[in-house]
Amino acid sequence: MLFVRDREVVIPGQPLAKGKIKPGKDVYIDESGMIRSKKLGLVNLKEDEISIVPLVGAYIPKEEDLVIGIVSKISGNTILVDIRSPYQGALPVQRRAEKVDLKKYDLKIGDVILAKVRSFDGASSLILTIDAEGLGKLEGGYLLEVDPAKVPRVIGKRQSMLSILKEGTKSEIIVANNGRIWVKPPSVKELIALEKALRKIEEESHVSGLSDRISSLLSQELSR
């Protein structure tokens, strides 16, 4: 028995469904067997499963996630990294491992790095890595932020939205799972256009046709 429609905006505690359907992400089952939302979000109804896609929320790290971090402290063999999360990341300097480019670890406080989450125990130990190709210190450009819950929308299906942003502003863009976005725009005009586009994505992600609206926003901003 369904009490909501697909893509409906629901609030925490709102009754979603009861009976044969399976509980997915960000929902819970109460004493009476009713499936309820845990968060402010959109209903995501699949064949036999009901989930909530949160509209907003803090970044909780997952293994293999791409994150953009800021080096906050260097002590001994560990580099501490802020990843805009309740959990601080640790980047152990792997002196013994093979094929490690030690130059990558020549970091200063305030440096911005592109890293991957190697492991997270869910509570206190968050280990990052920058060993793979393409990871490491980011040079040049600027950092923008978006609510972590909106990252999938900034990327889009098959990177469609990200392409619109990149081509529309002729910028290099890297979107990380923790809601940080590294951009290298040709000039500050494109940077401002990107900021506006990100705010619009945050506000309108729940209304379809967003890609077209973003395309037209970008051409409007950049034709002035």
Residues that bind another protein (CB under 8 A): 9, 11-15, 26, 28, 30, 36, 38-40, 54-58, 60, 70, 72, 82, 86-88, 108, 110-112, 122-124, 138, 140-143, 147, 149, 182, 188-189, 191-192, 203-204, 206-207, 209, 213
Burial 131-168 (b: 16+ CB within 10 A, else e): beeebbbbeebeebebbbbbbebbbbeeeebbebbeeb
Q: Is residue 177 a contact partner of residue 220, using CB atoms and an 8 Å limit?
A: no
Cβ-based nearer residue to another protein, 60 or 159: 60
Q: Supply the minimum distance, in Å, between the C-beta of residue 176 and another protein.
A: 14
Q: How far is the CB of 116 from another protein (least distance, A)?
A: 19
Nearest approach in angstroms of CB 115 to another protein is: 14
In the complex, minimum distance from the CB of residue 155 to another protein, in angstroms, rounded to a whole number: 19
In the complex with another protein, the residue whose CB is nearer, 159 or 170, is: 170
Residue with Cβ nearer another protein (94 or 104): 104
Q: Which is nearer to another protein, 118 or 137 (CB)?
A: 137
Strand (E) positions, the chain?
9-10, 15-17, 22-23, 27-29, 35-37, 41-45, 49-54, 66-75, 78-82, 89-92, 112-120, 126-129, 136-137, 142-145, 172-175, 180-184
Tokens, residue 197 = 């586009």
Nearer to another protein, 108 or 158 (CB): 108
Phi, psi of 17 (to 5 degrees): -165, 165
Q: How far is the CB of 98 from another protein (least distance, A)?
A: 30
Min dist. Cβ of residue 68 to another protein (A)? 10
Angstrom distances, CA of residue 2 to CA of 14, 44, 199: 12, 12, 33
Report the C-alpha gap between 65 and 76 in whole angstroms.
26
Token pair recorded at residue 162? 């990200």
Q: In the complex with another protein, which residue's Cβ is closer, 76 or 140?
A: 140
